[in-house]
Amino acid sequence: MVFLNATFDTGATGFMLLATSLVMLMTPGLAYFYGGLAGKRNILGIMAQSFVSMGITTILWYLCGYSLCFSGDMATHTDLAGIFGNCHKTFMNGVDLNSAYAGNPKIPEFVFFAYQMMFAIITPALITGAFVNRITFKAYLVFLVIWQILVYYPFVHMIWGGGLLASWGVKDFAGGIVVHATAGFAALASVIYVGKRRDTVSPPNSIPLIAIGTGLLWFGWYGFNAGSELDVDAITGQAFINTDVAASFATITWLAIEWTLVKKPKFVGLLTGAVAGLATITPAAGFVTLGSAVLIGIASGVVCYIAVHFKNKMGWDDALDVWGVHGMGGVTGTILLGVFASKAVNAGGADGLIHGGSHFFVMQLVSVIGASIYAFLFTYIMLYLINMVTKVKVDQTAEDAGLDEALHGEKAYDEGVL
């Protein structure tokens, strides 16, 4: 029996449990967002890919994920070349009710474990929107495990776990590189590998469902960004309001551009702009001023809108614009962090280019480009190898019938009563 001897800060612990719950809610929110965007024969297929990550990733995180990300560090030479953590905390070995998180002893390590697990759950699920209606469920499960171990875990450790990129001074408040850039460029590689859908004009089946998903994502993102301070202080509040303001400015920027160009205020575009703004502010949320968050939000609306249209021009069938929104959002936010970061906001951060931090700007630029290239190349090669073991792309019959019926034997709606 383990008795509780440690004294933790109830306010900080309670807040982190709330933030953990908010980030957990983002995965169902993503499922609704993608489920609404998908064609009516592929709603369950795309939603199942998000929900199954909640199970598979939790198991993997307990077995080895947490240890590979957050045990050992480069400064003490206790990790693996600054790329992976060690295996000392496999199966949560040595962590009990009295264990405090080293980065903030106010909270139990179990709470930090749970919080970071929610990030691990949603990151590979982001990729699935790119290859909707084209990937077998079995291949996706293999993809889910390997991609986390060899893409997600290394970047978590290198930046948040005291690894190589952290030693270079690279900053990423809540996942511009770790989550969005890696997932977005993995999505692009997936699209190029599996090719186009046979039906590329399939409209969203439920715009209200997209709106519900967006609302849940926006709500959960407060836990995603504000919670990444891992405490309750002024920086927590700064990250919270920066998140909301950047998303709002990105929403209206996207709406204004699309309204000007297509002559109609598209609701799906407005919702997409919101998600783009949320993704773009993520790496910078706790490191920049409110005014900088405004500029990041505007830049997000412009850059991500252009990226989506560039993708269309190139003929890349990224069905739900994962690369344009998350990939380019993560890259843009990371680079702009290198421009706008200020130690006056967060003493634990850095000064960006406009404050004389040219070296920091270069490190941000190099790291996000390197991470994006690695995620793209590794994902493409991994899919090629997975295909040698189990078929990655569904056959034409299954694609035409829709993956809900062909792979899962279910339908999202009873069409007989509609």
Residues in the chain, overall count: 418
Instruction: Report long-range pairs for 234-240 (Cβ below 8 Å, ≥24 apart).
Output: 235/286, 235/345, 235/346, 236/15, 236/286, 238/285, 238/286, 238/290, 238/345, 238/346, 239/173, 239/174, 239/285, 239/286
Whether 1 is covered by a domain: the verdict is no
Whether 416 is covered by a domain: the verdict is no
Q: Which helix (H) or strand (E) holds 368?
A: helix 358-389
In single-letter form, the type of residue at position 106 comes to K
The predicted pLDDT at position 5 comes to 66
The tens place of each residue's pLDDT in the chain, 418 residues long, gives: 455 666 899 999 999 999 999 999 999 999 999 999 999 999 999 999 999 999 999 999 999 999 999 999 999 999 999 999 999 999 999 999 999 999 999 999 999 999 999 999 999 999 999 999 999 999 999 999 999 999 999 999 999 999 999 999 999 999 999 999 999 999 999 999 999 988 877 889 999 999 999 999 999 999 999 999 999 999 999 999 999 999 999 999 999 999 999 999 999 999 999 999 999 999 999 999 999 999 999 999 999 999 999 999 999 999 899 999 999 999 999 999 999 999 999 999 999 999 999 999 999 999 999 999 999 999 999 999 999 999 999 999 999 999 999 999 999 987 665 5
Whether 82 is covered by a domain: the verdict is yes
Contacts of 168 (CB under 8 A, 6+ apart): 363, 367
Nearest alpha carbon to residue 322 among 116, 75, 44, 46: 46
Whether 218 is covered by a domain: the verdict is yes
Q: Which residues pair with 253 in a beta bridge?
A: none
**Token couple for 12:** 């900080």
CATH of the domain at 49: 1.10.3430.10
CA dist 414 and 112 (Å) reads 42
Whether 366 is covered by a domain: the verdict is yes
The predicted pLDDT at position 4 comes to 64
Whether 161 is covered by a domain: the verdict is yes
Nearest alpha carbon to residue 68 among 91, 94, 102: 91
Contacts of 237 (CB under 8 A, 6+ apart): 226
Q: Which domain holds residue 323?
A: 10-408
CB 173 within 8 A of CB 286: yes
The predicted pLDDT at position 257 comes to 98
Domain count across the chain: 1
Whether 30 is covered by a domain: the verdict is yes
Nearest alpha carbon to residue 227 among 70, 89, 24: 24
In single-letter form, the type of residue at position 93 comes to N
The predicted pLDDT at position 202 comes to 80
Whether 204 is covered by a domain: the verdict is yes
42 SS3 class: coil
The predicted pLDDT at position 416 comes to 61
CB 352 within 8 A of CB 338: yes
The predicted pLDDT at position 200 comes to 78
Q: Which helix (H) or strand (E) holds 104?
A: strand 104-108
The predicted pLDDT at position 199 comes to 81
To 5 degrees, how large is the angle CA 362–CA 365–CA 368?
Answer: 145
CA dist 315 and 182 (Å) reads 21
Annotate 296-334 with DSSP letters as a single string. Answer: HHHHHHHHHHHHHHHHHHHT---TT-HIIIIIHHHHHHH
CB 330 within 8 A of CB 368: yes
Residue 256: CA count within 13 A, CB half-sphere: 9
What's the predicted TM-score (pTM) here?
0.96
In single-letter form, the type of residue at position 74 comes to M
Q: Which residues pair with 108 in a beta bridge?
A: 100
CA dist 154 and 57 (Å) reads 15
